[in-house]
Amino acid sequence: MKKPETFEVRLASATMIAPTVRQLMFERVDDRPLDHDPGQWINLVLPLPEGECRRAYSIASAPDGSSHFEVAVTRVPCGPGSTYLHDLSEGSVLSAIGPHGLFTRAPDDPSPSLFVGTGTGVTPLRAMMQAALASGSKAPLWLLFGARFEEDILYRAEMEAFTRAHPHVRYTITLSRPGESWTGKSGYVQTHVPALLRELEAAGASAAPHVYVCGLERMVKAVRELCRHELGVDRKHVHTERYD
């Protein structure tokens, strides 16, 4: 596991990827690569008017040998940290500390993987998928993503491109508050886990699947308990990261 370090980062670019989610691409000021494992997170040190504070964000991009990395920030009403980062101008410099975390997946892991994420909880899962595909892995990689509304879906174009280019990638979206025009799945992500897991077990017949879950605590707990107690998934094969 990589040892955390403190370094300065500069905001290279930023874009809104959903009505309340801003994706920020940072670059290390020292131009060194961010040596992280897919799925890890980083602390950003924010100089707020009321005092310095730290905010933790999953790294949304796979390590690629460059000094750049991405995070996605949801604007929280009356949240000083998220407001600061949504208003941050390109070229601004912050301190960062990291990488941190044990919620990781080796890019060349041959095990079939079911990724379950809601909201910005999809960011570390995206990094894991990017890294696996960059490594040439042919392991089945299935992503189940949940959002409230269609406009809240993150990385849709990228994930759909992955499915077109890689037959072993599958992408499923479910909305808890679908509009009348929505023709995809609806309901909470945990309601779709059993069927997908059974299909994945059949698709990756030679190896037991691993499940990677990231999002709000209630969802993570529900999927974890479902996998362990009702679906019979080995405890060591269920990997979780929760957002408070």
**What single-letter amino acid sits at 163?**
T
Contact yes or no for 68/61 (Cβ under 8 A): yes
Q: Give me the pLDDT at residue 39, please.
A: 98
Contact yes or no for 97/2 (Cβ under 8 A): no
Q: Give me the pLDDT at residue 1, please.
A: 61
User: 2.120.10.80, 3.30.70.141, 3.40.50.2020, 3.40.50.80: which CATH number matches 113-243?
Assistant: 3.40.50.80
- Which string of b and e fits 227-237 if b means at least 16 CB within 10 Å? beeebebeeeb
- Grouping H, G, I as helix, E, B as strand and the rest as coil, residue 54 is strand
Domain boundaries, the chain: 5-100, 113-243
Contact yes or no for 172/185 (Cβ under 8 A): yes
Q: Residue ranges of the alpha helices (H) in 29-188?
A: 80-87, 122-134, 156-165
User: 2.40.30.10, 3.90.79.10, 2.60.40.10, 3.40.47.10: which CATH number matches 5-100?
Assistant: 2.40.30.10
Q: Give me the pLDDT at residue 203, please.
A: 80
**From CA 85, how far away is CA 24, in angstroms rounded?**
8
User: Cα dist. 129→20, 181, 186, 193 in Å?
Assistant: 24, 29, 24, 18
Rounded to the nearest 5°, which phi and psi values hold at 143?
-110, 125
Low-confidence ranges of the chain (pLDDT < 70): 1-2, 204-205
- End-to-end CA gap in the chain: 24
Within the chain, strands assigned E span 5-18, 21-28, 41-48, 51-58, 68-74, 93-100, 113-118, 141-147, 169-175, 185-186, 210-216, 238-243
Nearest to 226, CA basis, from 216, 215, 213:
213
